Chain A
Amino acid sequence: EAGVVQSPRYKIIEKKQPVAFWCNPISGHNTLYWYLQNLGQGPELLIRYENEEAVDDSQLPKDRFSAERLKGVDSTLKIQPAELGDSAVYLCASSLGSDRGETQYFGPGTRLLVL
């Protein structure tokens, strides 16, 4: 069974430029998460989707970040414009549902460097 797929794996951009990350979850997984992982720290949740609906986006900086999950499968996370402080690893995870204790499966992440 294929795992969570993310692309690109690495991205280098100049500040003020836009950037987008793509995630394909495990087939059949209704719940999708985007996390941000700064260097030397644990991941922090940005947004959670139940099918195509964003049910928790309280940690997403909405002035520059946006996300979508059309048709409840693939998801895209966008930053526009990027700032130096956005340099981090962006992780996508998926799970069958969102019951407490449900295992989340993580993709390899997209490492972003903003110059």
Chain B
Amino acid sequence: GNSVTQMEGPVTLSEEAFLTINCTYTATGYPSLFWYVQYPGEGLQLLLKATKADDKGSNKGFEATYRKETTSFHLEKGSVQVSDSAVYFCALSDNAGNMLTFGGGTRLMVKP
């Protein structure tokens, strides 16, 4: 079956530091890949997505590239802010009805 593995947190960074959150997946066929973010007290929000190999998704300074050869979709941001503190979820959807399979989430804490 499908699975998503992401690095465990919490990840603690100082403001303006570089961020990488690793995500790897196992799936048959050609899944679509997503990063969702959950801010404190709020619901899941789509951060970015990529639907085919070598696509780069980007939003709010975050980006991730769909790497089929390494089955990865790592999330990066060049300079994090305190407001980026949240839980980040990597997810994939396959051809069978677009059902999402999520990783366990990575909590990011950014200190001023």
- Could you list which residues of chain A lie within 8 angstroms of chain B, going by C-beta atoms? 3-4, 31, 33, 35, 40-45, 48, 55-56, 91, 93, 95, 97-109
Q: How many residues of B contact A (CB 8 A)?
A: 26
Number of A-B contacts (CB under 8 A): 67
Complex interface: chain A residues within 8 A of B31 (CB): 100
The residues of B with any CB-CB pair to A shorter than 8 Å are 4, 30-32, 36, 42-46, 49, 51, 89, 91, 93-100, 102-105
Task: Kindly identify which residue among A95, A100, A102, A107 contacts B43, using a CB–CB cutoff of 8 Å.
Answer: A107
Known: A43-B44, A100-B31, A100-B51. A55 touches B100 (CB 8 A): no
Q: Which residues does chain B contribute within 8 Å of A98, judged by CB atoms? A: 97-98
| A97 CB contacts on chain B under 8 angstroms | 98
